[in-house]
Amino acid sequence: MSKQIIRTEKAPAPIGPYNQAIKANGFLFVSGQVAIDPVTNELVTNGIANEANLVMKNIDAILKEANLTFQHVVKTTIFLSDMSLFAEVNEVYATYFDGDFPARETIAVKTLPKNVNVEISVTAVVEL
């Protein structure tokens, strides 16, 4: 099995001992992304829609670094600080896909890294 580390400056650097993404066996596994602006390294916390949009932009930057798009995404996991945020996050999330949505689960958790409100990870196929 070959394994390739994917890293881009257009998404936030990992805040722990992990990589932004790993490409292996025809899949890309993108680590959970939070709303950290990759330019300023600051958290974006001015509204859940802005937070979710930045998370998705960070995922997009990692996908692009691996020469992939959201069309390649086959599975997502969304972690929320409160399920009451579901509708707003879902609305932002939906705009990144062309209607061919991946499999997904959404989970409310007690606390997320840096006390953010949303974290999203994705798995993508390398070839469509």
Angle at 55 between CA 51 and CA 59, to 5 degrees: 170
Could you tell me the residue range of the domain that residue 79 belongs to?
A: 3-125
pLDDT, residue 11, reads 98
- In this model, does residue 1 exceed pLDDT 90? no
pLDDT band at 102 (very low <50, low <70, confident <90, very high): very high
pLDDT, residue 2, reads 86
CATH number of the domain enclosing 69 = 3.30.1330.40
* Tens-digit pLDDT profile for residues 5-47: 999 999 999 989 999 999 999 999 999 999 999 999 999 989 9
- In this model, does residue 80 exceed pLDDT 80? yes
Rounded alpha-carbon distances, angstroms, from residue 102 to 26, 75, 96: 17, 5, 11
**Burial environment of residue 121 by CB neighbours within 10 A (0 to 12, 13 to 18, 19 or more):** middle
Give the total number of structural domains in the chain: 1
Tell me what the pLDDT averaged over the chain comes to.
96
pLDDT, residue 39, reads 95
Q: What average pLDDT does the segment 69-75 reach?
A: 98
